[in-house]
Amino acid sequence: MSQPIPVQITVGNAQDLKTLKSSLLLTVVRVEYNGAGLGESSKTNVLPDGTAEYDFSTSFEYSPDGPNSLDVLVQKPLLLTLLEVAAKEKKKTEKVTPLAQAVVDLLPLLQGVRSLKVLAPLYAVPAFPSAMPHPEATAGLEVIVSTKELLLSATQFSSGNLLSITLEAAYSVPEAFTPDAQQNYMACLQIPAAGEKELPLLFKNGILKADGEKEPFPRPKNWPLGPLLAPDALNIPNSFIVGGPYEDEDGELTKSEDRAFRIQAESSRRVVWDTEIRCFLDAAAVATLQSRIAECRHWPVELCRMSMSSGGKGKASKLDKRDEDKQIAFHGVAYVNMLHLLCPGVKQIRGAFRVFNYQDSEVFEKTRVQYSIFRDRRSQLSLGKERLGTSPGSKAAPNKTQKEEKDSNATVVEDYHKRVTSVAVAILREYHELFGKQLPDQGMMDHKTMEEQKRQLNYELNTSGKYFAFKEQLKYSVVKIVREKYLKTTAFETKEKLQEFLSELYVYLVDHMHMALNKLLSGEDVSPAPPPYTTRKQLLLFAREAEANKDLNLASLFYKQRIARDQRSIQSWLAYGAFCLLHEDATKAQECFQQAVCLDPQHIQSLLLCGIVAVKLQHYEEAEIFFEDACCLEPSSIIAWTLAGLFYELQNNYIQAERSFREAKKLLRAELEEERRLLEAAEGEEKKPSSPSTDPEKIPDSSADKPPEAVEGVTSNEEATAVQEVPEAAEPQPPPCTIFMKTVEFLMKFNAVRFVHKALAHELLSLQGGPTCAYYLALAWTYLLREDFPRCGQCLCEAARIDPLNPNVWAQKGHLFYLQKDFDKAKDCYERVISFVEDAADMHFVYLRLGSIYLDEKEYGRAKHIYLLACDNSASCLTWLGVGIACYRLEEMLEAEDALSEANALNNTNAEVWGYLALICLQGGRQLEAEQCYKYTVKLGLQNDALLQEIRAAQHRFGFGDPSL
Q: Is the pLDDT of residue 750 over 80?
A: yes
Is the distance from CB of 848 to CB of 875 less than 8 angstroms? Answer: no
In 3D space, the residue among 5, 236, 215, 287 whose CA is nearest the CA of residue 104 turns out to be 236
Phi and psi, residue 56, nearest 5° = -110, 135
**Buried-state track 144-154, b at ≥16 Cβ within 10 A, e below 16:** ebbbeebbbee
- What mean pLDDT comes out for the span 36-44? 92
Report pLDDT for 432. Answer: 81
Q: Is the pLDDT of residue 483 over 90?
A: no
3-class secondary structure, 385: coil
Report pLDDT for 639. Answer: 93
Q: Is the pLDDT of residue 470 over 70?
A: yes
Residue of 595 and 675 predicted with greater confidence? 595
- What mean pLDDT comes out for the span 381-405? 43
Report pLDDT for 88. Answer: 61
Residue of 178 and 308 predicted with greater confidence? 178
| Rounded Cα gap, residues 108 and 778, in angstroms | 43
Half-sphere exposure of 845 (CA within 13 A, CB side): 23
Report pLDDT for 404. Answer: 41
Report pLDDT for 106. Answer: 93
Q: How far is CA 207 from CA 178, 274, 407, 456, 670, in A?
A: 10, 10, 12, 54, 25
Is the distance from CB of 307 to CB of 186 less than 8 angstroms? Answer: no
Residue of 737 and 26 predicted with greater confidence? 26
Q: How far is CA 583 from CA 32, 751, 786, in A?
A: 54, 9, 10
Half-sphere exposure of 200 (CA within 13 A, CB side): 19
Helix count (H) and strand count (E) of the chain?
36, 20
What DSSP character marks residue 196?
A: G
pLDDT band at 316 (very low <50, low <70, confident <90, very high): very low
Q: Which of 8-12, 373-377, 559-563, 779-783 has the highest mean pLDDT?
A: 8-12
DSSP codes joined into one string, 397-441 = PP-HHHHGGG--HHHHHHHHHHHHHHHHHHHHHHHHHHH----GG
In 3D space, the residue among 172, 268, 245 whose CA is nearest the CA of residue 674 turns out to be 245
Q: Is the pLDDT of residue 726 over 70?
A: no
Contacts of 733 (CB under 8 A, 6+ apart): 691, 693, 769, 772, 773, 802, 803
Q: How far is CA 378 from CA 217, 373, 374, 550, 831, in A?
A: 34, 6, 5, 75, 77
Q: Is the pLDDT of residue 101 over 90?
A: yes
**pLDDT > 70 fraction of the chain, expressed in percent and rounded:** 82
Strand partners, 702: none
- 348-374 pLDDT per residue, tens: 899 999 999 898 888 888 888 888 888
Q: What is the 3-state secondary structure (H, E, C) of 779-837?
A: HHHHHHHCCCHHHHHHHHHHHHHHCCCCHHHHHHHHHHHHHCCCHHHHHHHHHHHHHCC
Helices 773-785 + 789-802 axis angle, to 10: 160
- 551-567 pLDDT per residue, tens: 888 888 888 888 887 88
Q: How are beta strands 207-209 and 183-193 bridged, if at all?
A: unpaired
pLDDT band at 723 (very low <50, low <70, confident <90, very high): very low
Q: Is the pLDDT of residue 388 over 90?
A: no
In 3D space, the residue among 881, 911, 878 whose CA is nearest the CA of residue 897 turns out to be 881
Report pLDDT for 95. Answer: 81
| Rounded Cα gap, residues 740 and 711, in angstroms | 14
The CA angle 928-930-934, to the nearest 5 degrees, is: 120
Residue of 441 and 45 predicted with greater confidence? 45
pLDDT band at 153 (very low <50, low <70, confident <90, very high): confident
Strand partners, 356: 333
DSSP codes joined into one string, 313-346 = HHHHTT--HHHHHHHEEEEEEEEEE-GGGGSTT-
- What mean pLDDT comes out for the span 679-699? 53
Across 36-40, 235-239, 583-587, 685-689, least confident range: 685-689
- 875-886 pLDDT per residue, tens: 889 999 999 999
DSSP codes joined into one string, 635-681 = TT-HHHHHHHHHHHHHTT-HHHHHHHHHHHHHHHHHHHHHHHHHHHH
The Cα diameter of the chain in Å comes to 115
- 501-547 pLDDT per residue, tens: 777 787 788 878 888 887 776 654 434 433 434 467 888 888 898 88
Count of other CB atoms within 10 angstroms of residue 525: 10
| Cα dihedral across residues 741, 745, 748, 754: positive or negative | negative
| Rounded Cα gap, residues 639 and 637, in angstroms | 5
| Cα dihedral across residues 571, 575, 578, 584: positive or negative | negative
DSSP codes joined into one string, 126-191 = PSSTTS---TT---EEEEEEEESS-SS-HHHHHHSEEEEEEEEEEES--TT----TTEEEEEEEEE
Q: Is the pLDDT of residue 706 over 50?
A: no
| Rounded Cα gap, residues 729 and 709, in angstroms | 27
Which bin fits 485, alpha (ψ -120 to 50), beta or left (φ > 0)? alpha
- 845-854 pLDDT per residue, tens: 999 999 999 9
Across 233-242, 462-471, 916-925, least confident range: 462-471
Is the distance from CB of 937 to CB of 955 less than 8 angstroms? Answer: no
Residue 599 host element (H or E): helix 586-599
pLDDT band at 898 (very low <50, low <70, confident <90, very high): confident
Across 298-307, 391-400, 792-801, least confident range: 391-400
Q: Is the pLDDT of residue 100 over 90?
A: yes
- What mean pLDDT comes out for the span 84-101? 78
| Rounded Cα gap, residues 889 and 897, in angstroms | 12
| Cα dihedral across residues 589, 594, 599, 605: positive or negative | positive
Half-sphere exposure of 96 (CA within 13 A, CB side): 15
Across 331-345, 592-606, 611-625, 779-793, least confident range: 331-345
- 183-196 pLDDT per residue, tens: 888 999 988 875 55
Report pLDDT for 693. Answer: 42
pLDDT band at 707 (very low <50, low <70, confident <90, very high): very low
pLDDT band at 468 (very low <50, low <70, confident <90, very high): low
Contacts of 423 (CB under 8 A, 6+ apart): 470, 473, 474
Is the distance from CB of 411 to CB of 419 less than 8 angstroms? Answer: no
**pLDDT > 90 fraction of the chain, expressed in percent and rounded:** 25
What DSSP character marks residue 917?
A: H
Q: What's the mean per-residue pLDDT of the chain?
A: 80
Q: What is the 3-state secondary structure (H, E, C) of 895-915?
A: HHHHHHHHHHHHCCCCHHHHH
- 250-273 pLDDT per residue, tens: 888 888 888 888 988 888 889 999
pLDDT band at 685 (very low <50, low <70, confident <90, very high): low
| Rounded Cα gap, residues 484 and 751, in angstroms | 42
Residue of 736 and 492 predicted with greater confidence? 492
Q: How far is CA 59 from CA 6, 53, 70, 524, in A?
A: 6, 19, 16, 44
Q: Is the pLDDT of residue 167 over 90?
A: yes
Report pLDDT for 386. Answer: 46
Phi and psi, residue 807, nearest 5° = -65, -30
